[in-house]
Amino acid sequence: MSTRFDQQMMDLALQQAQKSYDEGGLPIGAVMVEDGAVIATGHNRRVQQGDPTAHGEMDCLRQAGRRADYKGVSLYTTLSPCMMCSGTILQFGIPRVVIGEDVNFPGNMAFLRAHGVEVVLLDDENCKALMGRFIEEHPDIWNEDIAGRTQV
C-alpha cells in the first residue's frame, strides 16, 4: 500500500529524472529512504558519464555509499526496475521498492515479489509523461539503455 509520503518521495525522484532530462540524459530518477529520512537521491547517468551501469537506482545506491545492510530501506524509482537493478535490490536485501510507472517499461515486479520484496506501483502520470517524451525523442538512447530488452 502506498502513502502520501510515498507520493512525496516519488515527486523527489521525478525531480531527479527531470534534472537528468535537462542534462540531455535518460529521465529516470531514484530516492533512497531509511526510516522516513532521505539517505540519497540519484538519476540515470548513461549519457552524462558514458556509464552503462548508471541506471537511476544504481546511481542512488552509489550516492548512498557503503552500508552494512539495507534493512528499513525503501527505494523509489520513477520507472519499473530492469534486471540489473532488480538483481541489485535482491542481492543487497532492499525490502521495499516503490515504482512510479511500468507503462514505458514493464520491468521485473513479479520477479521482485517472488523473492519477498514489497513492491508498490504508483502509476504516476507525470513519470509516464516524462519517460514517454524521452522515448519518442531518443528511441536509440532508450534502446541502448536496456540493450533492447524490455523483458528478461
The set of catalytic residues is 57
Task: Give alpha helix (H) positions in the chain.
Answer: 4-22, 46-49, 56-64, 83-91, 109-114, 125-137, 139-145
Check residue 121 for interaction with a second copy (CB under 8 A).
Answer: no
In whole angstroms, what is the distance from residue 130 CA to residue 141 CA?
15
Q: What radius of gyration do the chain's Cα atoms show?
A: 14
Residue among 62 and 133 whose Cβ is closer to a second copy: 62
Q: How many CB atoms lie within 10 A of CB 49?
A: 12
First and final C-alpha spacing in the chain: 27
**Residues binding a second copy: what is the number (CB under 8 A)?**
34
110 in contact with a second copy (CB under 8 A): no
Looking at residues 5 to 44 of the shown chain, list those that interact with a second copy (rule: CB under 8 A): none
Least distance (Å) from a second copy to the CB of residue 50?
5
6-14, 24-32, 65-73, 96-104 -> range binding a second copy (CB under 8 A): 65-73
How far is the C-alpha of 119 from the C-alpha of 7, rounded, in Å? Answer: 14
For residue 94, the minimal CB distance to a second copy (Å) is 9
Comparison of 3 and 143: residue with beta carbon closer to a second copy: 143
Cβ contact 38:9 at 8 Å? yes
Q: Rule CB under 8 A: say whether 90 interacts with a second copy.
A: yes
Query: Which region, judged by CB under 8 A, interacts with a second copy, from 8-16, 17-25, 33-41, 67-75?
Result: 67-75
- What are the phi and psi torsion angles at 28 (to 5°)? -130, 120
Which residues of this protein are in contact with a second copy, per CB under 8 A? 46, 50-54, 58, 61-62, 64-70, 82-88, 90-93, 115, 144, 146-149, 152
